[in-house]
Amino acid sequence: MVFVAGLIYAYFLSIPAALAVPLAFAFALEAFFFVAVVWEPPRRLWQRCFSPPALAALAAASGILPYVISAVPAGVFRWDGLASVAALAALVSFWFVLLPKNPAINLLFTAVVAAGLLAEVFEPLYGQPAPRLKLGILGDMMWTRLAMASVIGVNRFEIKGLGFLPSRDEWAAGLKNFLLFLPAGLLLGWLLDFARFNPKPFAWWQILGLALATFLGMLWVVALREEFFFRGLLLEWISGWTRSEAAGLVVSSVLFGLVHLPFRGFPNWEFALIATVAGIFYGRAYLNARSIRAAMVTHALVNTTWRVFFPG
């Protein structure tokens, strides 16, 4: 499905088939690896079959495959680029093999993962073979996927509720906290002049289709990855260190807000404040259901509402 979607996207960008096919395959391969990390049956299988060092080695090796598959036919392959991608993949994959497990090392790990994304280190490494076609997103996907695999496969830290499909209780907790956030989010957006109601001039069925597609993309990609780290990791770790879930909720939400500072020009304090408040409700959904899937629902509903009805 990802492969076909990639080909369709390439068609609309007028990318030649000789380039579109390997690029679509590279993204499909990265999506396959991502599913193997998140979906419970394959995840339990590779956790049972491989030791942490073996998992780290396999993960690091898998990190360079999408780069080679995409960069060679695109004409942007560089040996120094390959070396950099391999080094970064090894860094995040072997982190918990080579370093001791303690609060400082754990917190530094999340900081390194966030820094890799915020600094956009993969943009120059993966290149831009065509206008509007930046392959750095492939590196971002690899980076977060390997970080997730390192946490659950090498560190053996159990992420509560990791998976794609929320249960009925998780849907309920996610929806409840979305509805609780909505008045505060709308008021903050208006007071800060951050967003104005400006829905697309589409027919109702087009808006419905846009909302559904946006929601699923947010739920299974953006919200899943962010909730993995901010609620599944940071909220749990900070709660354990401080012996206070309230502290874990507040500190993880503030950190969540701070990573949004670079959005549309640094420092975007308005967005950081709104993201911090939203993070409180994502965290509440997580604590209500003891599952990141509940937080994913709240997160995806907030992002979908913003993208569909308050674009700009």
The tens digit of pLDDT for each residue in 119-142 reads 999 999 998 877 777 889 999 999
Distance CA 186, CA 300 (A): 16
pLDDT value of residue 7: 52
pLDDT value of residue 156: 92
What is the value of pTM for the model shown?
A: 0.93
- Whether residue 251 is predicted with pLDDT greater than 70 in this model: the reply is yes
pLDDT value of residue 13: 55
Sign of the C-alpha dihedral computed for residues 6, 133, 198 and 203 taken in this order: negative
pLDDT in tens, 150-208: 999 999 999 999 999 999 999 999 999 999 999 999 999 989 988 788 877 778 788 88
pLDDT mean over 257-272 = 91
pLDDT mean over 11-32 = 78
If one counts every other C-beta atom within 10 angstroms of the C-beta of residue 83, the result is 12
pLDDT value of residue 74: 85
Confidence of residue 292 (pLDDT cuts 50, 70, 90): very high
